[in-house]
Amino acid sequence: MPDALANLYDFANTLDLRHFTHHGVQHQQADALQNPAALGEWMHQHGLIHRAAVPSRKTFEAALRLRAAIRAYLKCDPAERHRKPTVTALLGAAMEPFALRVAVGGKDGFALRPVMSDAQAGLSAIVAELYDAASAGTLARLKMCAADECQRVFFDRSKPGTRRWCQSTLCGNREKTRTYRERHRHDPTSEI
């Protein structure tokens, strides 16, 4: 995972929807952002705010909308993301509360910086990562696992950038096995 996408990746994965059994152990679904205090602690652990402050209820709700919109966007095939008006409108609306400004500085001479200085600033930094990744072309490599029982966000390191599953050996094999069984269940020649 490139450092430039670390907070965006971790933020998207604060919602863990995995619900499969692996090696006999049922994976438990979890949400790391249960309440405003949990959001503040997560942001503090990720260096997005300097002290573990508790964001307002309004900021917390905006954070959940942002996370849902990012996840919906990443669930789309990268080539189709901008052709999904409902998904792009949802993401645009979810980013609105997190104002950014262009500042002189950064590795290329300019950088996006949060306008606010509270918990919203940390969330604005995630929006800036999203923008920077889109500008650099790396956002297309950030995807959601195609397995319905996983939906984990992952970074596609494959050379062609065509991975569909976070782990081919786990989610990929499970999906391929399911497809194979489904195909042969309705194939009368498979029983011969």
Closest residue by Cα to residue 11 from 48, 36, 51? 48
Residue 178: Cβ within 10 Å count: 13
What is the Cα–Cα distance from 18 to 184, expressed in whole angstroms?
27
Residue range 66-106, pLDDT digits in tens: 999 999 999 999 999 999 999 999 999 999 999 999 988 76
At residue 19 the predicted structure's pLDDT band, cuts being 50, 70 and 90, is confident
Question: Global pTM?
Answer: 0.85
Say if CB 144 and CB 151 are below 8 A apart. Answer: yes
Q: Which residue has the tokens 């652990």?
A: 45
pLDDT at 191 over 60: no
| Residues of the chain above pLDDT 90, percent | 59
What is the Cα–Cα distance from 126 to 163, expressed in whole angstroms?
24
pLDDT at 111 over 60: yes
Considering all CA atoms of the chain, what is the largest pairwise distance in Å, rounded to the nearest integer?
71
The CA-atom distances, in angstroms, between 75 and each of 42, 145, 147 are 23, 8, 11
Residue range 122-165, pLDDT digits in tens: 999 999 999 999 999 999 999 999 988 899 999 999 999 888 88
What is the Cα–Cα distance from 186 to 95, expressed in whole angstroms?
46
